[in-house]
Amino acid sequence: MTTLLRKSDAPKYMIAEVKELYGDFNDSVFKKEYKALTTLPAEYKPLHIQSKSPHYRNAIHYATKVRGMSLIDIIKYQVGYCDSGPYSGMLIIPSYDANGFLNYFYGRSFYQTDRKHKNPQTSKDIIGFESHINWKRPITIVEGAFDAITTKRNAIPLFGKKIMPMLKARIIQEKVSDLYLALDPDAYKESVEAIEYFINNGINVHFVQLNDKDPNELGYGGMVDYVANAKLMSFFDVIRYKMNL
């Protein structure tokens, strides 16, 4: 198992804990289930490890000064960067599932360029940042990785605008008490559809209307205020919002 964890770029502490609990037994029973998982770029470097590279200096400036990350955020989410290869000049933000396996990563350029984003060619039908989620607490759904990091507590990034089937099913399965939906203003239609779906499945849905800014632009303090003032939606609200479409 520890071999598979290493190949999946799992944190060292997780590898050590698994080895202590189960030993270094054969991984073959897990290979079929996880063989198609995403792997981080070979050039990935952890951002919390200092370097004299100009790429590192630009990456850490972008992460902390432009995107507002703290060192704790960088370590918690294992944010990295690439200074060569197909993801050269990009921050890399990994996502891990509940078992500590990599299920996706987001690449974002820290330079001014037309190619701002580059993501792996794999399905987005995953649960973003699942390794950080406590399903017994209220969940906040946002669009992007930076938005989730800014929100800090129990935030799931969609890496897009659509709530995929795996996440929908898991929210229902876990009987999440309260769901806060904080998609960007241009995802109004997707928000209303999601609100209707979850209300019909007995979930309390709070609509976080962000107006002209996304969570990362609002910052943690701004998101706290928006979430605190989010409207608890009813069936009649859904009808009214659908009419506005």
Cβ atoms 128, 148 nearer than 8 A: yes
Identify which has the larger pLDDT, 16 or 159. 159
pLDDT > 90: percent of the chain: 74
| Of 184, 135, 180, 139, the residue nearest 159 (C-alpha) | 184
Verify that 236 and 139 share a domain, yes or no.
yes
Question: How many Å apart are CA 116 and CA 139, to the nearest integer?
Answer: 28
Is 16's pLDDT higher than 70?
no
Question: How many Å apart are CA 92 and CA 106, to the nearest integer?
Answer: 6
Question: Average pLDDT, stretch 123-132?
Answer: 95
Three-state SS for 160? Answer: coil
For residue 205, what are the β-bridge partners?
179
Confidence of residue 9 (pLDDT cuts 50, 70, 90): low
Verify that 84 and 156 share a domain, yes or no.
no
Identify which has the larger pLDDT, 34 or 236. 236
The answer as to whether 17 is a domain residue is no
CATH number at residue 48: 3.90.980.10
Amino acid 184 reads D
The answer as to whether 6 is a domain residue is no
Three-state SS for 129? Answer: coil
pTM: 0.82
**pLDDT at residue 26 in the model:** 41
Verify that 141 and 233 share a domain, yes or no.
yes
End-to-end CA distance of the chain: 50
Q: How many domains does the chain have?
A: 2
Of the residues 59, 93, 118, which one is the last residue of a structural domain? 118
Verify that 110 and 196 share a domain, yes or no.
no
Verify that 89 and 162 share a domain, yes or no.
no
Question: Average pLDDT, stretch 40-69?
Answer: 96
Identify which has the larger pLDDT, 183 or 15. 183
Verify that 211 and 151 share a domain, yes or no.
yes
The answer as to whether 231 is a domain residue is yes
Confidence of residue 10 (pLDDT cuts 50, 70, 90): low
Verify that 139 and 90 share a domain, yes or no.
no
Q: How many CB atoms lie within 10 A of CB 58?
A: 16
The answer as to whether 85 is a domain residue is yes
Is 4's pLDDT higher than 80?
no
Is 37's pLDDT higher than 70?
no
Of the residues 118, 153, 182, which one is the last residue of a structural domain? 118
Is 36's pLDDT higher than 70?
no
Reported residue count of the chain is 245
Verify that 224 and 139 share a domain, yes or no.
yes
pLDDT > 70: percent of the chain: 84
Of the residues 65, 94, 118, which one is the last residue of a structural domain? 118
Verify that 109 and 197 share a domain, yes or no.
no
The answer as to whether 123 is a domain residue is no
pLDDT averaged over every residue in the chain: 87
9-18, 177-186, 193-202, range with the lowest pLDDT:
9-18
The answer as to whether 221 is a domain residue is yes
Three-state SS for 221? Answer: helix
Task: Give CA angle at 56 (110, 66), nearest 5°.
Answer: 40
Question: Average pLDDT, stretch 181-210?
Answer: 93
CATH number at residue 222: 3.40.1360.10
Identify which has the larger pLDDT, 185 or 63. 63
Summarised one tens digit per residue, pLDDT across range 83-124 is 999 999 999 999 999 999 999 999 999 999 888 999 998 999
The answer as to whether 44 is a domain residue is yes
What tokens does 164 get? Answer: 């995929």
Verify that 150 and 214 share a domain, yes or no.
yes
**pLDDT at residue 11 in the model:** 55
Verify that 42 and 102 share a domain, yes or no.
yes
Verify that 158 and 220 share a domain, yes or no.
yes
Q: Which domain holds residue 200?
A: 130-244
Q: How many CB atoms lie within 10 A of CB 185?
A: 12
| Of 213, 181, 224, the residue nearest 199 (C-alpha) | 181
The answer as to whether 21 is a domain residue is no
Confidence of residue 12 (pLDDT cuts 50, 70, 90): low
165 CB contacts (<8 Å, ≥6 apart)?
125
